[in-house]
Amino acid sequence: MFIAKDLRPMLATLPAQPPSLTVAGFVYEPKYDGIRAIVEVVPGAAKAASVRLWSRNGNEKTAQFPEIVAAVGAWGRRLPGAVVLDGEVTALDAGGRPTGFQRLQHRINISVPGYRSTKAQLTADQQPAALIVFDLLRHDQDDLRALPLTERRARLEALFKKHKPTSAIRLIEHSAGSGEALMARAVQEDWEGLLVKLARAPYRAGKRSPEWMKLKLQKQDEFVIGGWTAPQGTRLHFGALLLGAKGESGGLEYAGDVGTGFTGAELERLMGLLKRIETPTCPFAVKPKVKDTVHWVKPLLVAQVRYTEMTDEGRLRHPSYLGLRDDKAARMVKVPRVRTVPTVPRGLVPKGLVPMVPMVPMVPMVPIETVTTKGVDSLIEQLDAIEKARKNGTLLLPDGDTLEVTNLHKVFWPQGKHTKGDLIRHYARVAPSILPVIHDRPLVMKRLPNGVDAPHFYQHRAPETPPAGVRSETLPDDDVPSRLIGGSLKTLLYMAQLASISMDPWFSTMSDLASADQVAIDLDPQPGATFAQILDVARWVQDELDRVNVPGFPKTSGSEGLHIFIPLPKGTPYQAGMLFCQIIATMVAMKHPTVATVERTVRKRKDKTIYVDYLQNIQGKTLACAYSARASAFAGVSTPLTWTEVHDAPAPQDFTIDTIAARLQQKGDLWTPLLTHTGADLLAAIDKLSK
């Protein structure tokens, strides 16, 4: 059992591009701008339970919010046992609605008897606050962190069944599968945004996991550039732009500075423009107090800036540069009346900045099967027992179905003495993560019935009489009578039972077979090439993608190569995705001809080079998917990486069927952001390349 005061909360990631507002298997919650709180509630004989609050950094906040302590204490005295809650302390407006963080800062020094404090700025009556609860980590003697979010939520709702939502403790709203209605309210009511959470995810205390994602609401407006500060460290050209807008008096009022959102090329371009209009005279009505060396410019250039809010002092909070506006005259830029938009790149950026592409929801045909930790543990125990007995056996699956398994003791990987049983155990362990990857996709089997050192063969056709519960479909205009379709645990384990070591799905789903929702660049080493060279080429691919604002998701191949996947909007033709990959691959090969090649003919490729393959993106072609086992001698697993890890030079042998479960526990599911992505804007990318 954990100690509440030592617990650090699970944290969400901010993906390069936000997830769709309609994704099966995910839940949507409001994101409020407050103080994260771990709350311990211990019922006792007194009128109120004992209540303590800690921030995400472990600092006690009990003294600052007496009305919350009182409300939670009154609520908690009816509990049968202690609970530990995770939630957000937010300031409330006059209507009792959650509001911005700035108001909450005035409450930090509020105290209650028995706690040391300094003078308070505002009282609880002057600035009320509330605890909005969204997770349950302990319930009586049960540690709930290993349970899926859906199970923790069910228990939390049971605790709040009789609780009035108008008090200082509230249960957060929660929508499964669709966040569209919540997003509409978020825009209307000025929330910070939404949180998008994987329904089957456990609670990873102290970890920042892509199983929780932020979908932030931010504001955008135009600001006049009034100067720049000197660069610091390795930064080139300038550190930040000083921004302003015309106030009521007609003068240029300082609004803050922006130092993020610039590419290297944009820093260089802007510096050239700024130098031409440099002036010794400050353009602001009141000269801003800036610590760094400042260069003033004539107020002629207009920048588009995204930010979270304007403070009461008229300063931008969390600004990020988006680009220059050539369709706005500086004299027309006034102190903004705030416009709030979801941060969906290009879909909602002003038309004068970049092309617009609608956000398309992803709607799978059938629900993604959820596999709990308890279900996985049961499968592992059964597989261990059957293999130890060296007999064939029957697996009881978590949903009550069964599957026959044979020859589990047969060695598939001689180098490490890994068996067929190890293969099936691997897929049982990674089932919660790999099932969404192959969900609703036709699969190709690469079968190795005698292990990785023996001949293999590809099988597109599904067995004539697969077991009940194993999905197979006849595809339109397909020469293959029927194909296995991924998504169920039974299908996954059945394929492993057939000695299909890797899982190779199509780049499209059954809901739209003619379109690709992802493409990949396959980095394939030629004889004599090293993995260090592959990592170099991967970084060069990343550079090209970053230049055109296209996200790339790297993973090891599970053998000696590396794959970089790119998400596509729903409805993208296969040919369009392949053409884009061809352009990126060709650019890399042209810039680095001694290392990278796009030569299709094998005999014409030079040794010790990396083939940058874009031809896998033809309909019906496949690559081993994320979390797939591979027929490499070291029993590798195709493993998602962060770009930081790519730059840290890992080895393929670091990622195997022996290590993947621990990595998932530590890092979370790094492939989730790809699966929930709205898709790269290829038209905008091609437009940038053409310029």
Segment 396-434, tens digit of pLDDT: 999 899 999 999 999 999 999 999 999 999 999 999 999
Q: What is the pLDDT of residues 434-448, one digit of tens each?
A: 999 999 999 999 999
Assigned domain for 356 exists: no
Asked if 452 and 558 touch (Cβ cutoff 8 Å), the reply is no
Same domain? For 400 and 533 the reply is no
Q: In the listed set 484, 505, 526, which residue is the last one of a domain according to the structure? A: 505
- For 98-107, letters b (16+ CB in 10 Å) and e give bbbbebbeeb
Please determine, for residue 635, whether its predicted confidence score (pLDDT) is greater than 50.
yes
68 and 93 housed in the same domain: yes
Domain containing 318: what range?
A: 216-342
Mark whether 74 and 196 lie in a shared domain. yes
pLDDT score recorded for residue 113:
38
- The tens digit of pLDDT for each residue in 354-407 reads 222 222 333 334 567 889 889 999 999 999 999 999 999 999 999 899 999 999
pLDDT-derived band at 247 (thresholds 50, 70, 90) equals confident
Query: Above pLDDT 70, what percent of the chain?
Result: 89
Q: Examine the domain organization and report whether 178 and 269 are in the same domain.
A: no
| Token pair listed for 304 | 């588009």
Residues 575 and 608 in one domain: yes
Q: Is 25 left (phi over 0), alpha (psi -120 to 50) or beta?
A: left
The region of weakest confidence among 7-21, 135-149, 510-524, 578-592 is: 7-21
* Separation of alpha carbons 445 and 498, rounded Å: 9
Q: Which of 211-225, 259-273, 500-514 has the highest mean pLDDT?
A: 500-514
Last residue within a domain, chosen from 206, 238, 271 = 206
Contact between 129 and 68 under an 8 Å Cβ cutoff? The reply is yes
User: Which of 94-108, 317-331, 505-519 holds the top average pLDDT?
Assistant: 505-519
Q: Which CATH number belongs to the domain containing residue 296 in this structure?
A: 2.40.50.140
Q: Do residue 176 and residue 75 come from a single domain?
A: yes
CA neighbor of 120 nearest in space, from 167, 65, 69: 65
Q: For residue 177, is it within any domain?
A: yes
Q: Is residue 189 over pLDDT 90?
A: no
Q: 328 and 225 share a domain?
A: yes
The 3-state DSSP class for residue 180 equals: helix
Q: Which of 554, 569, 552, 580 is nearest to 517 (CA)?
A: 569
Number of domains in the chain: 4
**Half-sphere exposure in the Cβ direction for 591 (13 Å, CA):** 14
Return d(Cα 627, Cα 657) in angstroms, integer.
Answer: 9
Instruction: Tell me which residue has tokens 């027309």.
Output: 332
CA distances from 93 to 90, 96, 122, 134, 547 (A): 10, 5, 14, 21, 43
Pairing of strands 302-307, 208-229: antiparallel
Same domain for 157 and 19? yes
Note whether 410 and 452 are same-domain residues.
yes
Q: Are 225 and 242 in contact (CB under 8 A)?
A: yes
Binning pLDDT at 50, 70 and 90, where does residue 328 land?
A: low
Q: Does 312 fall in a domain?
A: yes
pLDDT band at residue 186 using 50, 70 and 90 as cut-offs? confident
> pLDDT value at position 309?
76
Confidence of residue 269 (pLDDT cuts 50, 70, 90): confident
The band of 116, judged by pLDDT with boundaries at 50, 70 and 90, is very low
In the DSSP assignment, the letter for residue 463 is: P
Does residue 351 surpass a pLDDT of 80? no
Check if the beta carbon of residue 7 is closer than 8 Å to that of residue 55.
no
Q: Is the pLDDT confidence value at 163 over 60?
A: no
Q: Are residues 327 and 475 in the same domain?
A: no
For residues 671 and 524, membership in a common domain is answered with yes
pLDDT digits (tens, 9 = 90+) for 11-60: 998 775 667 788 778 899 999 888 899 999 998 867 788 999 998 878 88
pLDDT attached to residue 119:
42
Is 105 among the domain residues? Answer: yes
CB atoms within 10 A of CB 571: 13
In this structure, is the dihedral angle defined by the CA atoms of residues 572, 578, 582 and 585, taken in order, positive or negative?
positive
As a whole number of angstroms, the distance between CA 59 and CA 34 comes to 15
Query: What's the average model confidence in pLDDT over 661-680?
Result: 93
Which among 159, 182, 206 is the end of a domain? 206
Query: Is 411 inside any structural domain?
Result: yes
pLDDT of residue 366: 56
Under the phi-then-psi rule, with left for phi > 0, alpha for psi from -120 to 50, and beta for the rest, what region is 140?
left
CATH value at residue 643: 3.90.920.10
Percent of the chain with pLDDT over 90: 58
pLDDT at residue number 518 = 97
Average pLDDT over residues 66-85: 90
Rounded Cα distance between 248 and 638, Å, is 59
**Residue 349, domain member (yes or no):** no
Residue-level pLDDT at 571: 85
- 160 within domain boundaries: yes
Specify the CATH number for the domain of residue 68: 3.30.470.30
∠ CA 677-681-683 to the nearest 5 degrees? 160
Q: Which of 259-263, 427-431, 513-517, 607-611 has the lowest mean pLDDT?
A: 259-263
202 and 261 fall within a common domain: no
Mean pLDDT of the chain, nearest integer: 86
User: What pLDDT is stored for residue 249 in this prediction?
Assistant: 82
pTM over 0.95: no
Q: Establish if 361 belongs to a structural domain.
A: no
